[in-house]
Amino acid sequence: MEILVPELGESIVEATVARWLKQEGDQVSVGEPVVELETDKVDLEVGAKEDGVLVKITHQEGEDVKVGETLGVIEPSAAGDGKPPDKGQQAPSTDTALERTTASAETTKAQPKPGNGSGGERVTPVARRLAQEQGIDLSQIEPSGTGERITKDDVQRYLAQVKEAPAEEKVAEESTPQPTPSPSKPTPSPTATESYSPRREIRQRLSRRRRTIASRLVEAQRNAAMLTTFNDVDMSAVMEIRSRRKESFQEKHGVRLGFMSFFVKASIGALKEFPRVNAEIQEDEIVLKQYYDIGIAIGAEEGLVVPVLRDADRMSFAEIESAIREYINKSQQGDLSLEDLRGGTFTITNGGVFGSLLSTPILNPPQVAILGLHRIEERPVAVAGQVIIRPMMYVALSYDHRIVDGREAVQFLVRLKELIQDPETLLLEG
């Protein structure tokens, strides 16, 4: 029974073998994850089609594979006796075998967790690579998140604790009186060569996601006539609503009222007035999309991901906030599915959460526009002939000038600004 690279989803034809959860000669059970694949969007676990023994691994960790290629071979157990087969015996294969992928938390949680940290526990690929590079036993690390999965932050926190321990020991030693050493011959000073400490370098293999991000960003700049226009938005009205309604909103819906739901709604209002911003180029045609699947850029542990709010125009503020929170949690645990990331007609990215004051976001092809949000900063502004202090945010719209004119881009941001500064309009005009 061949273990095949399964269908990986929209536009994904390759993957990288991240790690083998079983080795040659190991017994496997039907549905049990055998190998983990890394794609540019998500990590997938390929499970065994039936009970048997893994008799051959054809692609090692780190190798790139295509959809349909053979990853390894399982020889089914005879009458379920569980005995490993003769390794000299050739395992049967079939071209129609389709491996079941499991990216859900339920499947991975069902994996056994060996105490030696050798590969069965729930660990994100980045965390595993960092632990291997630093020589850390993963069984010594407890996950801090709600999904019981060890992340890069957990490994880094463990490293910091380990580094602090020797420092504490050193302080204790220095506080203990030491006997006066007897006079001895002076030690010759080291030569220039001996005292020189070479600069260290660490080489890390680019993950498939990072490689794809790099190529797509370069492709976006090469294939689109990309420009960026800017505006600033007075956030006073939105902040006043959040302050006044945040407690009742959270009590009723179980989620905090954030800024993103306002910008999602305002973006949809502006997209309806300027439909070319919600379009795509296909060969010599412009495809104007009359649905609004809004991508929300999230800085995940293994690289930027853009999960999509489907039909966001039909979602309430609470549904938007709940969906975004769920996506953030799933990205932290590495549980985003291909369906979560598929498609999208327009993207919003918020660099303000990292402290960015201004930026020029890069397009997310095949989309033709992306909105960049930034940190809120109190600044003096002129209002009705007076200079007052207001919480202001710079917003940026990067767009493909091939189908979006500068006039449309500027008017889009002006309309967005109007809707944010008068948020009641979002309710009155839907």
Q: Is 153 considered catalytic here?
A: no
Hunting for tokens 């850390």 — which residue is that? 136
Strands 386-400 and 369-373: antiparallel
- Smallest Cα–Cα separation from 346: which of 312, 369, 323? 369
**H helix or E strand, kind and range, residue 375:** none
The angle at the Cα of 177, spanning 175 to 179, to the nearest 5 degrees, equals: 145
Q: Is 405 considered catalytic here?
A: yes
Hunting for tokens 């321990």 — which residue is that? 165
64, 137, 405, 422: the catalytic one is 405
Q: Could you tell me if 102 and 2 are in contact, meaning their C-beta atoms sit under 8 angstroms apart?
A: no
Helices (H) then strands (E): counts for the chain = 11, 20
DSSP secondary structure letter of residue 352: G
The angle at the Cα of 51, spanning 47 to 55, to the nearest 5 degrees, equals: 80
Q: Could you tell me if 148 and 174 are in contact, meaning their C-beta atoms sit under 8 angstroms apart?
A: no
CA 421 distance to own-chain centroid: 31
Copy the structure tokens of residue 200.
């260290």
- Smallest Cα–Cα separation from 325: which of 427, 373, 254? 254
SS3 assignment, position 77: coil
CB contact set of 350 (below 8 Å; sequence gap of 6+): 259, 260, 297, 372, 373, 374
Copy the structure tokens of residue 135.
């020589």
Q: Could you tell me if 373 and 348 are in contact, meaning their C-beta atoms sit under 8 angstroms apart?
A: yes
Copy the structure tokens of residue 87.
């390794």
The angle at the Cα of 176, spanning 171 to 179, to the nearest 5 degrees, equals: 130
64, 137, 311, 401: the catalytic one is 401
SS3 assignment, position 244: helix
**Neighbouring C-alpha atoms within 13 Å toward the C-beta of 266:** 26
Q: Which residues are catalytic?
A: 401, 405
